[in-house]
Amino acid sequence: MLDIDKGVPQPQATGRSKYPWHTMEVGESFFVPGARSKTWGQYRNANQLYAPKRWEARGEKEGLRVWRVK
């Protein structure tokens, strides 16, 4: 059985990500070693979260490169 607690404040979101979504300019990119484009959905989430900004990703030999395109 789990205890139920009342009055515990929820932590505030920091808005920080390990990826530079909010600081990128159009044409800039970053590399994610070991990631695969079909399984790495972080850029899709960023497209929704930071709309109308957009990112696209392409697989490279050792990982995935993500570009800001809009």
Per-residue model confidence as pLDDT tens digits over 37-59 = 777 888 888 888 889 999 999 99
pLDDT value at position 22? 84
Gap between the Cα atoms of 56 and 22, Å rounded? 15
pLDDT value at position 30? 94
Q: Which tens digit of pLDDT belongs to each residue from 6-48?
A: 999 887 666 677 889 988 999 999 999 998 877 788 888 888 8
Single pTM value for the model = 0.72
Q: Is the peptide bond before 20 cis (omega within 30 degrees of 0)?
A: no
End-to-end CA separation in angstroms for the chain: 50
